[in-house]
Structure formats: C-alpha cells, structure tokens
Amino acid sequence: MTASAAPMLEVRDLTLRFGSVTAFADLSFDVARGELFAVIGPNGAGKTSLFNVLSRAYVPTAGSVRFDGADLLRLRISALAGAGVARTFQNLGLFGELTALENVLIGRHHLMRSGTLRSGLWLGYARREERRHRAAAMEALEFTGIGHHAHAPTGTLPFGIQKRVEIARALAMEPKLMLLDEPVAGMSVSEREEITALVRRLHRERDLTLLLVEHDMGMVMRIAQRVLVLDFGRVIAIGTPAEVQRDERVIRAYLGEELEGDLAEVRR
Amino acid sequence: MTRLASLRRRLGARIGAKPAAVLAIAILAIVLPFGLDAFWLTTATFVLIAAIGALGLNVLTGYTGQISLGHAFFLAVGAYTAAVLGGTARLTAAIWLPAAGVVAALCGALVGPTALRLRGLYLAIVTIGLVFIGQHIWFNVAAISGGPGGRSFPPVTFGAFDFSPGQQLTLGGLVIDHNGLYYYLALIILAAAMLFIWNLVRGRPGRAMQAVRDREIAAAIMGVNLARTKMSAFVVSSFLAGVSGALYASYLSFATPGQWSLLLSVQYVAAIIVGGIGTVWGALLGSMVIFALPSVLQSLIPQSSSGGLPIDDISSIAYGLLIIVFFVLEPRGVVGLGARVASLWSRVAMRGGKGGGLSEETQPLERREATWAR
Ligand SMILES: Nc1ncnc2c1ncn2[C@@H]1O[C@H](COP(=O)(O)OP(=O)(O)OP(=O)(O)O)[C@@H](O)[C@H]1O
Ligand SMILES: [Mg+2]
C-alpha cells in the first residue's frame, strides 16, 4: 500500500488514563485523506484529551496512532508541526503579549530557518525570510477575515476574534491535518454562521483533512462527512451525520446531556 | 491643543515618532559627558555598563520567562576571564572583552540543560545555588580571583591605546578623559547589543522566546523547540552578562569576591522590573534608576542628616520600595509609564486633530493606529 492510499490518520486501541480516571479507552477509527471528520460527545467524553494525544501533549496509556503512514507517537512534540499536524485550542492557546500577526508567525516557525545570529544581526537572509513569511501570515489572517487586527496584541482582542487568530495560525502552519477544538463555542449565532462557512472554505480550498470537535450539532451535522460519537471515553457510534442521528445509543447519550452539562459546569 | 496635534503630525509624518525619539536619545547620550562632572560621568558609565548586563537578563527573564537570580555568577565569570586574559596573560581588550562574553556564554550553555528541567521558582532557587558555588570558587581559587582580598583588573587597552586613569584622547580639540573613554566604549557596546536584541525579539528566535514565556506547551505544538529556545536565551543572556562584568571590573580596576554576591543579582532583577520586563529600553531605564540610585542619594542627602544610616543601606531600602511600588502600580515598569504618557499624548493630539480639520475619512484610521501603537 502506498502512503497516499493509506488513511491520513489511523487510531488503534488508543487508551488514556490519569491514575484511576479514564479519559478514553480502546478508540479505533480511521480518518481518510481530505475528510471532514467530526468528534462529538457530551462534556467530559474525552474529545479534548484525544486531541491532546494527537498533538503529543499527552502520552497515551496504550494503543497506536499512524499519521500519513508513519508512527505519530514517535514524534517529539515540537516535530509535530513539521510533520503536518496543526491544532486550535478549546480554551485558547494564544501568546497574549504578541500581536495577532506575531502569533500567526509562530505558526510558521517550523517553516523558517533564521537563528539567533542571523536574526540578531538582521542579515539579508533573515530579512528576506521575515518579509516572505509575514506576507504568508497576513494572507492567513485575511483568509479568516481579521487582517485588520494584525497588529493588535492578542490579549486585548475579543474572544471571537481570538478564536479566528487561532484558526489563522493553524492554517499558516501549512498542515495536512488540522484539529479544531470547539471553534464556535461561546459565539453568537451570526459568528457561528461565519465560522461554519470559514471551516467549509478551509476544507474545500486548502486541501486539508479536518478533525472537528464541536458541541454545536447544527454545525456538525451540516458540514461533517463522518461523525464519531464518544460517551464516557468510549466510541458509541461512527458514521455519516444521518446514520449517527438515528443511532439509539447516541440519542440516549444526548438526552442525558442536559444533566451532564450541569454536572460539568459544577466540575469547572 | 491644535498646535500640539500638528506638531505631532508633522514629526510623525517626516520621520516617525519612534526614530525621532531614538535619534534624540542618541545625540543626548553622545554629548552627555561634556555636561557632567567626574562624579556624575562615573555614575553614568557604571549605568551604561550595567545596562548591558540588564539587557541580557531581560532576554532570559523578560522575554523568555526564565526567572534567574544567577546573573552575578555570569558577571563574575566575565570579570575573571578578563582578569586572567588581560591581567595575568597581558592580552589586549580586543581579545579579553569578547572572550569574557564567550566564556560566560559557555557557562550558560553548561548550566542551561539543568535549568531546562525547572520552571518558575525552582529555577530561581537553582540559579541562586549558582551564585553560592561561584562565591565558593572566587573566595578559594586565588589564582583567578586573588582570594578574599581581591585582585586588580586590567584596564581596557587596544594595542598601544590605553584607557587607564590619567590617559586621554584628543579629538579635534575635544578632550576625552579616562572616564569618557569608558563611557563611550560602554555606550557603543550597549547600542550594538540593544540593536541586536531589538532585531532578535522581532525575528523568529525572539518570537519563539516570547511564545515559550506565554505558553510553553502551545509553543511546542507550534513547532518551537523548547530546549533550544531556552538554551539560546541562556547563552545570549550570559554572553551579555560576561561582557558587562568584564567592563565593570575593568572600570573599577579592583574587585573582591564579595562583590559578586546575591545582592548584585537582585539589583539586576530590580533593574528589569523597574525599567520594564521584556522590553529593550527597560534594561537601560531600569539601570538608570537602580545603579544611579546610590549616587543620587549621596548627592541629595548630606551624610550628617541621614540619621547615621550608610548610603548603601538607604539604597537597599530604596530598591525594595521601588520593586514593591512598581509591582503594585505599574508592572510594565518605566517603559509602561512611558507608554501611558505616550497614549495620553496621542489622545490629546487626536482631540486637537479633530479641531485641526482632519477629514472624516482619515480620523478612524488615525485612531486605530493609536490603539495599535503599543
Ligand atoms: N490532565 C488531566 N488530568 C486528569 N484528568 C483529566 C486531565 N485531562 C482530562 N481529564 C479528564 O478526562 C476526561 C475527559 O476530558 P476532556 O477534556 O477530554 O473532555 P471533553 O470531551 O473535551 O469535554 P468538553 O466537551 O467539556 O470539552 C474528564 O473526566 C477529565 O476530567
Ligand atoms: Mg474539550
């Protein structure tokens, strides 16, 4: 089997435990190249933990992950960007004192080469490199519709704009696989519409495989090609949006969600 | 108000407010020695020398977020490298001055890996250990430090050209004495270092440092190599400390091991807190406050009216008060105060600008610029 025929992501028997707490157990699924794949589930189901394993922030207790044909779990965390995985964070992972543009430029760190001496002495190489990547970072900000916020320190920007900076930064990383953790959480209805359209555009125009975690069912069911449903760290369903919506176990898990949601609020 | 606004607009349009300010400061720094007596010129020279070291600490602590109280150790390494190469081996400053930076940077690279495993207060405590180990070495290895009694340090010499007391340089009628020579050497090195760090923090490596400071894990996921980034910060920081320490000891011409104590580290930390954490100018501004303080107090308070307290003790109390005041009232330091004044200034100018007949279209743009200006 050639690398390009292999799925973009192959997850096998993946388990993550924190002492006696099981974040998720025995997850197995494939994400095809170019797929827009959603992961849903009630609060605490293990979605963010899955992203943390896929972005090498957490080391899984057991199981394997192959990314683009290679063993993802052998990559160092800082080598992930170069391998082609980008992510956004549910609770924002921006560098608050840097401007939006500088944040996006950090996303291009792995594509740049200038070190301490070349940058400090501001040699021609560093200057040209900086100019080129600034243009690319600007383009990513424009793509997400926030080019005019480029020079604002991100810490001072509204939450919705910060979420877009995160998407721009992930995009600027030029990844093959992008993990989006709740991109519309905490947004107004109109902002949700805009981000939904943006994610669609990302998928169509940028040749990306997308993994989307989202509580907004309307958004997920409209744009996802396949959906994985987690409950208490276990896969309870996987399939097209239509299939998943008919699944009895899914309906049951979501009927109980209101209560779950309240519990999660208390936990926070 | 209108006049203020048009002045600002004219200045801003021609050269930009920032370059104009930098030019003014540069000119002031160049002519300053001619307006100062020996006492204040000496003070100014010590301030510039210290600012080189403070700039280094600001790279490590301010920009990279690694709290270090070990700066005194790297200053001492630089000083004793100068002593051994310039004093014992009689080499020129063209060799011992860069060598002081390089040897200190090597020490930084050696302790870096240990520090990479530690964060926050733990790193602060381990770097205190470094100062104590240094003290032990300086007090006991007399071949390097001269033992508890101290040793003399070489004056700066470039070939036949000598910076020793009594020496002077005559440039087209202007006489630059021993103090002036050290002042200008420190000024040139500081300016070069500030330019280097300015470029660094706006480029790829400096951005990575700030990302590591703000959110380590997120930075790593973005492809930033944490170990390499912290290591660069350690190396750059200790290089500047080494150069600063060598110049300091050379200008003092004599130093004892006791001078490289924890108090010296604390003074540097105070300097970047007071001046502005994570800013290039903060290192200079903070050094002006902290390292000129004893001189200022000495000239303000006649010894008879200080209630018997020695000036050094009064200075120490003042350091403490300054740190507390800045932490509570303006955590961004003197640079932050400056930014406040600047934003007040632009607000005043903007209000005047309305009256001054700015067209409706250009107004929002100007306003936006002003909010970005930080
Ligand atoms: N670092 C950690 N240490 C201990 N337990 C953790 C840790 N991270 C996550 N967990 C636990 O793992 C479980 C899954 O959490 P996770 O954040 O992955 O849920 P989620 O599906 O993203 O929920 P939400 O929809 O609320 O974001 C929870 O029970 C959580 O408390
Ligand atoms: Mg989550």
pLDDT digits (tens, 9 = 90+) for A15-64: 999 999 999 999 999 999 999 999 999 999 999 999 999 999 999 999 99
The predicted complex's ipTM stands at 0.91
- Among the partner-chain residues B197, B215, B223, the one whose CB lies closest to the CB of A93 is B215
Angle at B210 between CA B206 and CA B216, to 5 degrees: 125
Helix (H) or strand (E) holding A205, with range, is helix A189-205
The DSSP secondary structure of B1-69, one letter per residue, reads: -HHHHHHHHHHHHHT-HHHHHHHHHHHHHHHGGGG--HHHHHHHHHHHHHHHHHHHHIIIIIIT----S
B221/A106 Cβ within 8 A:
no
Among the listed residues B59, B31, B45, B58, the one whose alpha carbon sits nearest the alpha carbon of residue B288: B45
Helix (H) or strand (E) holding B210, with range, is helix B204-214
Tokens coding B231: 């290591």
B371/A152 Cβ within 8 A:
yes
Nearest-CA distance A204 → chain B (Å):
23
Q: Which of A241-255, B17-31, B199-213, B310-324 is predicted with the least confidence, judged by mean pLDDT?
A: B310-324
Tokens coding B285: 């501004």
Q: How far is the CA of A24 from the centre of ligand 1 (A)?
A: 9
The DSSP secondary structure of B214-242, one letter per residue, reads: H-HHHHHHTT--HHHHHHHHHHHHHHHHH
Greater confidence (A9 vs A260) lies with A9
Angle at A88 between CA A86 and CA A89, to 5 degrees: 140
What mean pLDDT do residues B281-302 have? 89
- How would you class B281 by CB atoms within 10 Å of its CB: exposed for 0-12, middle for 13-18, buried for 19 or more? buried
3-state secondary structure A15-51: EEEECCEEEEEEEEEEECCCCEEEEECCCCCCHHHHH
Q: Is the pLDDT of residue B8 over 90?
A: no
- Provide the 3-class DSSP secondary structure of residue A192: helix
Q: Is the pLDDT of residue B349 over 70?
A: no
| A151 contact residues in B (CB cutoff 8 A) | 372
Question: For residue A202, is it left (φ>0), alpha (ψ between -120 and 50) or beta?
Answer: alpha
What mean pLDDT do residues A166-179 have? 97
Q: How many CB atoms lie within 10 A of CB B123?
A: 23
Chain A, residues 166-185, CB within 8 A of chain B, namely 169, 173
User: pLDDT-based confidence at B363, cuts 50/70/90?
Assistant: very low
Q: Is the pLDDT of residue B354 over 80?
A: no
- Residues B66 and B230 sit within 8 Å (Cβ to Cβ): yes
User: pLDDT-based confidence at B161, cuts 50/70/90?
Assistant: confident
B223/A121 Cβ within 8 A:
no
The string of pLDDT tens digits covering residues B30-88 is 999 999 999 999 999 999 999 999 999 999 999 999 999 999 999 999 999 999 999 88
State the Cα–Cα distance between residues A238 and A28, nearest whole angstrom.
10
Tokens coding A30: 């494939």
What mean pLDDT do residues B14-33 have? 82
What mean pLDDT do residues A67-96 have? 95
- Chain B touched by A77 (CB under 8 Å): yes
pTM reported for the whole predicted model: 0.88
The torsion angles phi and psi of B297, rounded to 5 degrees, stand at -60, -40
